[in-house]
Structure 1
Amino acid sequence: MMRKLDILLYTRASGGGGAERVWAILANGLAARGHRVTFAFDETTANDGVDPTVETIEVGERHPVAVLRLARLLRTRHFDVIAGAVSVSCVKLALAKVLALSRTPLVFSYHGFEEYKTGRLSAVGFYALPALAPLVRRFVGVSDGIVRALVERWHAPEGRTERIYNPVPLLAAASAEEIAARPPIVGAVGRLSREKGMDVLVDAFARLTTPGAILVVGGDGPERERLAEQVAALGIDDRVRFLGRVSSAAEVYGQSRVAAVPSRTEAFGMTTVEALSVGLGVVASDCEGSREILAGRYGTLVPVGDAAALATALDRALATAPDPGPGVSRAREFSAEAGLDQWERLFTGLAATD
């Protein structure tokens, strides 16, 4: 029987972005398996999705206050393992570990190629990685691409760096007949920020030749207003729908015939897996995360930022008879259960050597 652990997970918020969502899924899943899970975060979000069985602690958005509160927590509780997601949170958890004189095994989890650009502490998590390495028992990247970058560019110790794909709760698959009967809707889900490339998708959609095509976008973010202006300028207001924040990608993919993932950069791509899991054809930009998931067989890749190529591929996908089987099978390799199994094995192994 696997030992039940006392685990601390820490990141920026209780939900919202990709990494935060992953940490909430991990917290819920480990708690459901009988582990005692404490989920600490800087701020609470309205759509956190954290299960009541998970103990939650809000440590505050000010970095010094958060570090001190985390250190106090580490002094008063004996955790079997502690883990941070995204570099800024990893650095703060490492500082708290030092202040608390804690010997608890620490895991750093990296979720993006460009996290180092988002703030000074985020940069420390990359540029000072060799100096932080003695404090860290394992470095985790959410894709093989991230692991390569951590080892080759940022000098993470190769023997203590591994890949664990994000645990993705898969959506219910539709049949080929159901998908074929839908209107020619292109669905996209993601944060409306520059790195997600929604502006490229809007440009591409304006070039589509498929009669009656509609674009449905789920998500919110800082680019929302600019995207609306772009849609208006292109004269396609009547064919583009922004749904805002959605509770599940199923709200978009459940009505779509094809999924578009136009990201400029993507470390993994949970929405790509979700699109495959419902049986949709996927057209994605050729960035690391999408390339790794689609593996040259499960979707179509186009050059990053190339609206003309994206439009051509979307027209072709809309005209192609759906074949959900291969994509649905591929999505199972990234299921929540598969990811939870890997994280549980890692945490159990680290706790056993403590």
Structure 2
Amino acid sequence: KVYQKNESPKVLSVLGFHFPETMKNFSCLAFSVFFSFVLNYICVCRVVIDNSSCEHATVIEVYSIKRDGVLLEVVQVLVDLNLMITKAYISSDGEWFMVVFHVTDHDGNKIREKGILNYIEKSLKWATYQNELPPMSLESNTSIFLDYTTIELTGTDRPGLLSEVCAVLTDLRCNVVNAEIWTHNARAAAVIHVADESTGCAVEDPKQLSMIKELLWNVLKGNNNLRAPKMTISTPGTTHMQRRLHQMMFADRDFERLECFEDTSSRPQVTILDCADRDYTVVVLRSRDRPKLFFDAVCTLTDMQYVVFHGTLITGRMEAYQEYYIRHIDGLPISSEAERQRVAECLEAAIERRTTEGL
């Protein structure tokens, strides 16, 4: 219809596309192809960053075509930039996904630096496109360095475990490039990136790799014969490190609470309700607010194969309120008491894993 009315240049100008007079009479087929590209470009993802509508926070709106995992990937971008999410609203009924974030830096200030705002916009678009590689680093124009060996460990937590793991790696001439260790409910999980001391690259010698595996296994096992430790050595993967730690702790069943850890005074409150008229399960979480809390909840629901259709996050001075309308990936709400209890336990564990208890 646009072509027949000879209004294609006018429409494209409104959309922000401009071209010379010689291109204004191109064929119907060419216009159809180009216009389809324009619509896809507009509809796949739209990111709006606004510093004027809210007095205390930068408002970020993301609109895109709905796909599995997009919410987690979008939240992950903001978490990796160490932004504080003070409020969030999610809606993803039908084929579309929309989320609005209120974010600040760690000092509670709006994000005003133009370079950071541009990087946020590009990274969020990249996340919704589901590209395999991340955008360039914020600090430089070089790709992220990936020439290392990844060691994943899970086992029983005990005093001195970390120092013993580091001592083994030092004796085997491995430099620790990056590492993150979580402990919860007497369990420990670690993702460690190491490089060969002599080459500065990934460890490739089969004998050295075998020795690393054998010695670390002995360290993890210790005197505990109840639960065998788990360990893998591999090349770098594409899974986000903190998401991987959640997956490892979940697989190690750290959500099964021991009798000596039954203090409920400081535990997060998880309530699971039915929304029968819309075939949703409603998950309500109340807990002490802290950085990355939103990511931990969304990550756990995603890895447990639940889809968030609607959601809200509101943080106060010390408390955070989260509400999610979910279904299992098969389209069904939670249907049994056992499943309800398991979801509640796993969400409690996900929130507690990153909570610091001090000395």
Q: TM-score range by the shorter chain?
A: under 0.3
Structure number having the greater helix percentage = 1
TM-score (norm 2): 0.22
TM-score normalised per structure 1:
0.22
Higher share in strand: 2
